Amino acid sequence: MARAKMLLVEDDAALAELLIWHFKREDFEVSHTVDGEEALLLAQENVPDIVLLDWMVESLSGIEVCRRLRRMNGTANVPIIMLTARGEEEDRVRGLETGADDYVTKPFSPRELVARVGAVLRRVRPALAGETLTFSDVEMGTVGHKVRRGGQVIPLGPTEFRLLKHFLEHPGWVFSRERLLDSVWGQDSDIELRTVDVHIRRLRKAINADGRYHDIIRTVRSAGYALDTDGVA
């Protein structure tokens, strides 16, 4: 199983040391910074699997770091857990609306935080929980970047791999072209909508082996695309 990469953004030195100890004991690879600007650079250089983000950090607020991570290509879908002493409902709502996946109020139990991180990763990054992404006869190994269908390796380009991974993580969900652009290319992308159709065609051609297998990507007219076995709707 791959080691999960964590970015910890926390300016309380004692708390950071405690969290690093707990998560390294759980076999996480932890990068730590006290600075919001540096956190954005670290996330770009080595995209984490999860971010623990304090509300109050140096140079940029945690809320602004969260907002920018959601807009950056590569980190738009990385789960973020906010850590804060601000327990008011309005603050929690603001954090979640900005893009946080969970919100933990200080003081908290490190063991509970470890459990909550694990729950988030199992939901949004199942491969890190030791699972292979599968649908019908398609299998994806996210660590080795290998895709197989019917036992045969299917070569995919990086964009098609990310598209298929997104579909495999949300089987049956219908995604508009706009949603796919945000999720796969990032919210700051200047890519045109029709580019999504081009990559969907490439993915279909590869995953269907030029017609050898049935089509598992359904086109939903006026809505977008979904991963299922019903073909065109």
Query: What digits encode the pLDDT tens for the residues 36-45?
Result: 999 999 999 9
> Which among 146, 166, 168, 164 is positioned nearest to 155, based on CA atoms?
146
Q: Give the model's confidence band at 1: pLDDT under 50 very low, under 70 low, under 90 confident, else very high.
A: very low
- Give yes or no: residues 106 and 152 share one domain: no
User: Would the pTM of this model clear 0.75, i.e. be above it?
Assistant: no
CATH number for the domain including 103?
Answer: 3.40.50.2300
Helices of type H across the chain: 13-25, 36-45, 62-71, 89-98, 110-124, 158-169, 177-180, 193-207
Q: Which domain holds residue 192?
A: 133-227
The pLDDT value given to residue 61: 87
Tokens of 104: 């933990």
CATH number for the domain including 182?
Answer: 1.10.10.10
Q: How far apart are CA 129 and CA 127, in angstroms?
A: 5
- Give yes or no: residues 47 and 149 share one domain: no
Stretch (H or E) spanning 146: strand 146-149
Report the domain count for the chain: 2
- Calculate mean pLDDT across residues 98-115: 85
Task: Check whether 92 has a pLDDT greater than 80.
Answer: no
* Chain segment 136-157, per-residue pLDDT in tens: 899 987 766 789 998 889 998 8
